[in-house]
Amino acid sequence: MRHLLPLLLLSACNQNMVQQPRYDDYERSPLTADGTTMQAPPDGTVAQDTPLRAAEAERPPLTPALLARGKERFGIYCSMCHGIDGRGDGIVPARGFPKPPSYLEPRLVQAPASHFYDVITRGYGVMYSYADRVSPRDRWAIAAYIRALQDAGGADAR
């Protein structure tokens, strides 16, 4: 009998879930301040299947502010694997995770800045995508900072 009571209560709960009130599109609703059912999405919301707008993917001009932002974002998102100087000797690989390549490798020195932007966006190898964490402008800032690391490391970067 004791085991039957929870089942009885759960079945009553289920009926309440099935018979919840709902509102059709464009129907008046007492739940919102303006009385409408359909609400506009928050500013900056982009549908999942919307392609990246060309304006978001355009490379911003290289400025000291962009490099400073890139250094900050690199420190937050990249340095734990890629290391402070981009040589792939961060704390994560030191703990046994696969080591990322050094930005001073010739193939990465020769790669266009868009390569780094694309890797941040889509991921590459064991690195997963950071598109949901790093805005398009910050991806370009990080790519610019990687170029600065390459220059500082003695690479003949383009």
- As a whole number of Å, the end-to-end CA separation of the chain is 78
**Per-residue model confidence (pLDDT) at position 16:** 63
Regions of the chain short of the pLDDT cut 50: 55, 157-158
Paired tokens of 95: 């703990």
Q: Which string of b and e fits 58-83 if b means at least 16 CB within 10 Å?
A: ebeeeeeebeebbbebbeebbbbbbb
**Per-residue model confidence (pLDDT) at position 90:** 95
Q: Compute the C-alpha angle 149/124/49, nearest 5°.
A: 115
Residues whose CB is less than 8 angstroms from the CB of residue 114 and which lie 6 or more positions away in sequence, other chains included: 59, 143
- Specify the CATH number for 68-152; select among 1.25.40.340, 3.20.20.10, 1.10.760.10, 3.30.70.1140: 1.10.760.10
Q: What is the rounded distance in angstroms from the CA atom of residue 132 to the CA atom of residue 122? A: 10
Packed helices 64-77 and 136-152: angle between N→C axes, nearest 10 degrees: 90
Phi, psi (rounded to 5 degrees) for 56: -75, -30
Stated pTM of the model = 0.65
**Per-residue model confidence (pLDDT) at position 158:** 46
**Per-residue model confidence (pLDDT) at position 56:** 56
**Per-residue model confidence (pLDDT) at position 59:** 86
